[in-house]
Structure formats: structure tokens, C-alpha cells
């Protein structure tokens, strides 16, 4: 084995297995990609070690095989995200947001112009106010309003509430 894969074939084999394990773990473990980055770094280390210690043809072959394995993992991941094991995983969100949940009821905001309330946060120029016991996210007409100040609703455009 040493004659074909170079003097460091055992560490290369360990790094290859470790790198692939990290990449497979990244498929099923939500996070910031730390295990994926570690896996890619392990595989890059294997390629570098092979180019430094083994015959050039062997190094190219090892790099090609690792590249093919990475491409296969990406294909499996993409197919699995659509309808496979990962799709049935509890870490994949499958809930749907209904359109009715995104828009307020038709009459709730149309009645606000002219009403008064209190600023619950500083409005710089956006913040939260309380009008008739309900909280609303609002914007001002480019002025700053302190917390606790009295406000009046000037206009409502869709879900954008403008106060002064």
C-alpha cells in the first residue's frame, strides 16, 4: 500500500473516513456548517498529502475519487431534501403558512386613522404603539417620538400604519 499511496496512506485513510463522516453528519445535523467545513478540510488535507507524498497519478486518482464521492453526496442530499429521508426528518420544516394568516382582517386596520394611543417603544421612525389595548407596529412620518408619548394614526396603507 505504501508503494502506491505514499508513506502517509494510513493518516490519509483515516482523514478520508473522518471527512466523509463529517459531511454525512452535516446532512442530518442542523447547525452552522462546522462539521461540513471540517469534512471538506479533511478531504482537502488528504488531497494535499497525496500530492506531496504519493505518485502524481495516484494523487490525481485519489482526488478524482473523493470528488466523485462529494458529488454523489450532493446529489443524494438534493434528492433527499425533496422527497427522501431528510424530508421526513424532524429538522425540516414542513408547515405551510396560509394566505389568510398573513393579512389582517379587512376591517381591523381601516378603522385606525384618527385614533390615538401611546408609544410603547421609542419610534425612530418605527416602533410599537398601543391603541385601544392592542399593540401595533407603526412608522412615523420621519420624526422621532419618545416612549410613552401620545400618538395619532395618520394613515393606513395595507399593513403600514403611519402615526404622528
Could you report the per-residue pLDDT of 87-97, keeping only the tens digit for each? 566 666 666 76
d(CA 121, CA 145): 9
88, part of any domain: no
d(CA 24, CA 38): 11
d(CA 89, CA 108): 39
Q: Are residues 65 and 112 in the same domain?
A: no
Q: Are residues 6 and 62 in the same domain?
A: yes
158, part of any domain: yes
pLDDT in tens for each of the 164 residues of the chain?
555 566 777 888 899 899 889 888 877 776 677 888 898 899 888 888 888 887 788 888 888 988 898 888 778 777 766 665 555 666 666 667 665 544 555 457 888 899 999 999 999 889 999 998 889 999 998 889 999 999 999 998 888 899 98
Q: Which residues have a Cβ under 8 Å from the Cβ of 72 and sit 6 or more positions away?
A: none
Q: Are residues 65 and 113 in the same domain?
A: no
**Which residue range(s) make up the domain with 31?**
2-83
Q: Is the pTM for the entire model greater than 0.75?
A: no
For residue 139, the domain's CATH number is 2.40.50.140
Q: How many domains does the chain have?
A: 2
102, part of any domain: no
So what's the pLDDT on residue 116?
93
Neighbours of 80 (CB within 10 A): 17
Amino acid at each position: 500500500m505504501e508503494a502506491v499511496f505514499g508513506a502517509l496512506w494510513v493518516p490519509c485513510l483515516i482523514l478520508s473516513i473522518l471527512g466523509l463522516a463529517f459531511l454525512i453528519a452535516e446532512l442530518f445535523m442542523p447547525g452552522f456548517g462546522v462539521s461540513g467545513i471540517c469534512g471538506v478540510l479533511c478531504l482537502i488535507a488528504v488531497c494535499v498529502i497525496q500530492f506531496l507524498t504519493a505518485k502524481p497519478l495516484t494523487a490525481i486518482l485519489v482526488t478524482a475519487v473523493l470528488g466523485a464521492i462529494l458529488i454523489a453526496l450532493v446529489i443524494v442530499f438534493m434528492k433527499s431534501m425533496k422527497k427522501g429521508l431528510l424530508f421526513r426528518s424532524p429538522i425540516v420544516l414542513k408547515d405551510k403558512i396560509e394566505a389568510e394568516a398573513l393579512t389582517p382582517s379587512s376591517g381591523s386596520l381601516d378603522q385606525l386613522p384618527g385614533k390615538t394611543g401611546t408609544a410603547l417603544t421609542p419610534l425612530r421612525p418605527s416602533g410599537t404603539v398601543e391603541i385601544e389595548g392592542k399593540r401595533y407596529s407603526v412608522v412615523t412620518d420621519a420624526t422621532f417620538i419618545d416612549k410613552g408619548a401620545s400618538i395619532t394614526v395618520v394613515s393606513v396603507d395595507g399593513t403600514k400604519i403611519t402615526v404622528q
